[in-house]
Amino acid sequence: MRGRANKALFALVAGIVLVACFLCSVAGPVRAAEEKESPPLKPFWTGPVYGVFTDAGPDSAMGPRAKIHVPIGVALTKPFSRWGYQFTPETAFRWTTKAYLGEDSQPLQDPSYNWMPYVRIVPETSGALQWIKIGVPDHLSNGDTNGASRSLNAGSIEVAYAFQVAGLDVDVYAKGWYVYDYGENTETIEEVINLVGDFGGRIIVRGHLDMIELATELGPEWQKLMLYLPLNDFYEFGLFGEFHHGKFEGLLDYGTDEATTSVGVAFRPN
């Protein structure tokens, strides 16, 4: 009897599996068609996600700290073509915070987030120009309230180029902005982030080989050197290092000159 029961149970399970496979084979194309017709609205990474440790902090809580950086974006509609270019409305959100090690209370300090809706313009013919992003408001804030709030709003344009120099792949990102609102507690920030009056900008140059990537960022009052070493066969993770020199390391003491070295791990999707 037990053998018959086992066979009956096996037949029942096999039947359920066969029915499920049949339903999946029928419903699969329908579901794929529905997804094809739906708008994208899928998040994507706009840069590396990294967590690093560094040796000192910019405020009264001097000492080691951890820094976390998460950038994400969403395409709002499907691309549409005009005049030989593809236009895609998107929005991006970048969040950075620091955790001061050894702090008994409120270890998270100097948070900041950057939110910006923009239009990405991509040429339909291949060349050095990769894309152009035009956005407003380019909003930077620490998300705080009361007297600790810091924020500013700008309109910005960013252009990306890709070259090959002596066998080395080189990417260039140039961004310019006009700040039209400085918000609260940022009375002197224009002297740090701008070049002339309310106009500012920065440039990032990245060179990458098979095993290592190096990038430098040059701003009006700061310089950064970044390194990424991929860990082969370990998803998209790698070792990440950053050296920051100058001002604007965060929104807390943006006018303070610093020289800090940070080392950690980054997740860098394609």
DSSP one-letter string for 70-95:
EEEEEE-S--EEETTEEEEEEEEEEE
> How much is the pLDDT for 40?
52
> How much is the pLDDT for 102?
67
Q: Is the pLDDT of residue 70 over 80?
A: yes
> How much is the pLDDT for 66?
84
| Average pLDDT of the chain to the nearest whole number | 80
As assigned by CATH, the class of the 40-267 domain is: mainly beta
Q: Is the pLDDT of residue 14 over 50?
A: no
**CA dist 245 to 23, 71, 165, 191, Å?**
60, 22, 27, 16
At 241, is the pLDDT very low, low, confident or very high (cuts 50, 70, 90)?
Answer: very high
Domains of the chain: which residue ranges?
A: 1-38, 40-267
Residues 39-68: tens digit of each pLDDT = 556 788 888 889 898 875 444 445 677 888
Cα gap 194→178, rounded to integer Å: 8
At 233, is the pLDDT very low, low, confident or very high (cuts 50, 70, 90)?
Answer: low
